[in-house]
Amino acid sequence: MSTKLSITDLPDSEYKGKRVFVRVDFNVPIKDGNISEDYRIRQAIPTIDYLIEKGAKVIVASHLGRPKGRNIPGFSLKPVAERLNEILDIEVNFPGEVFSDKVRNAANNLNEGEVMLLENLRFHKEETDNDEEFAENLASLADIYVNDAFGTCHRAHASTYGMAKYFDKRLAGFVISKELEFLGALLQNPDRPYLVIVGGAKIKDKINALKNLLETADKVLIGGCVAYTFLAAKGVKVGKSLVEKEMIPWAKEALKNYSDKIELPIDHVVADSVENSRVMMVVDREIPEDLMGFDIGPKTVSNFNSHIKGNGTVFWNGPMGLFEMNDFSNGTSSIARSVALATWRGATTVVGGGDSTSALRRAEVLISEIKHVSTGGGASLEFLGGDELPGISVLSDK
């Protein structure tokens, strides 16, 4: 159970006629004015629907890309406003600015159940600087504050952090509430057995989360580049595979403390280089000097799959190899399908990290076949590392 106040914790009467500021994550890919993938927009709809239904005046705000404080038309949220019109089937007010007299008037003139979308918050560098005056201006537009942008909660920006203190009611939307429910359970009381699968590029990026996961999990399967550093720490030859030399002492210590929990690859799909990544062969255990590991091999897939069962909890972060290339996607896709199967069999499955949705898509696994797909890559790892996220800490306690 989350300890943060959610939008459903407030009586309906509190919303009627009130201006509600909702920070969402509409950071969608846009090319030539067209949105190529609108998952993040759809995801925010339940929170917006809920507020409309309660008679609130809804002021939605988001960032898009990294315009670095400049008003760059290619980063405008206008296409998102148009998509919102279609989804909500109402005319969404898009003033094309973040804060001005025009925006204030538009906010004050909203009727109950109407929606307005501000322009890209990051057109002002004051947003990422968490500028005090900017935060106060944003806060002056509304009566109630809702955050539903989990992916930016690890950043103390004006819209995720600075403005919150001006409100009595600082609420979590449905996206954040669900993240807190699932990630909170991983941190505090996961259903056991608790299996963790870790891969991806760098230990350094996930060190705090890894420390906690190794401590709390019953079993930890390690693939991706992360595995080569662990294998190197064990003295296994890994050829030219990407190893984080500076992390070897830590990996040695982890192997000593958690030897009974950690499972490493026993074979690898190797090639000569990324540039010339013809699949050379599958090798057992040791990788020849002039070759690099780009995926876990079939024996490892089979061993890892034998641990992914239909009970307890399965948490997966990071691909098992260079999955963006067909030749090296088998390990990641096999694991994705096993995790989906574990959901069907009754396990609580959680997948997190920036690449996870594309890895699932590549394996033709539906998002609905995973109990919870965490949307915030960095944010979910910081959360699992036990860090207090600024955007969560400012929300009202229950």
Active site residue ranges: 40, 202, 354, 378
Residue 287 CB, shortest distance to ligand AMP, in Å, is 11
Q: Which amino acid is at 199?
A: G
DSSP assignments along 366-398, one per residue: -GGGSSEE-S-HHHHHHHHTTPPPHHHHTSPB-
Q: Which residues bind ligand AMP (CB under 6 A)?
A: 199-202, 205, 224-225, 242, 293-294, 318-319, 321-324, 353-355
C-alpha–C-alpha distance, residues 157 and 47, integer Å? 21
* Interacting residues of 204 by C-beta distance below 8 A, sequence separation 6+: 244, 246, 247
Residue 198 CB, shortest distance to ligand AMP, in Å, is 9
* Structure tokens belonging to residue 124: 């002002």
Residue closest to ligand AMP (Cβ): 200
Q: Which is nearer to ligand AMP, 295 or 369 (CB)?
A: 295
Within 10 angstroms of residue 257's Cβ, the number of other Cβ atoms is 12
DSSP assignments along 236-297, one per residue: --BTT----GGGHHHHHHHHHHTTTTEE--SEEEEES-STT----EEEESSBPTT-EEEEE-
Residue 275 CB, shortest distance to ligand AMP, in Å, is 12
Residue 353 CB, shortest distance to ligand AMP, in Å, is 5
User: Cα-flanking dihedrals φ and ψ of residue 3, to 5°?
Assistant: -95, 0
CB contact at 8 A, 236 and 283: no
Residue 398 CB, shortest distance to ligand AMP, in Å, is 33
DSSP assignments along 166-211, one per residue: G-S-EEE-HHHHHHHHHHHHHHH---SSEEEEE-SS-SGGGHHHHH
Closest alpha carbon to 268 in 315, 233, 313, 236: 236
Q: Which is nearer to ligand AMP, 239 or 318 (CB)?
A: 318
* Structure tokens belonging to residue 267: 């074979």
From the number of C-beta atoms within 10 Å of its C-beta (0-12, 13-18, 19+), residue 96 rates as middle
Q: Which is nearer to ligand AMP, 97 or 205 (CB)?
A: 205
Q: Which is nearer to ligand AMP, 72 or 242 (CB)?
A: 242
User: Cα-flanking dihedrals φ and ψ of residue 122, to 5°?
Assistant: -80, 10
Q: Which is nearer to ligand AMP, 55 or 298 (CB)?
A: 298
Residue 341 CB, shortest distance to ligand AMP, in Å, is 22
Q: Which is nearer to ligand AMP, 162 or 200 (CB)?
A: 200
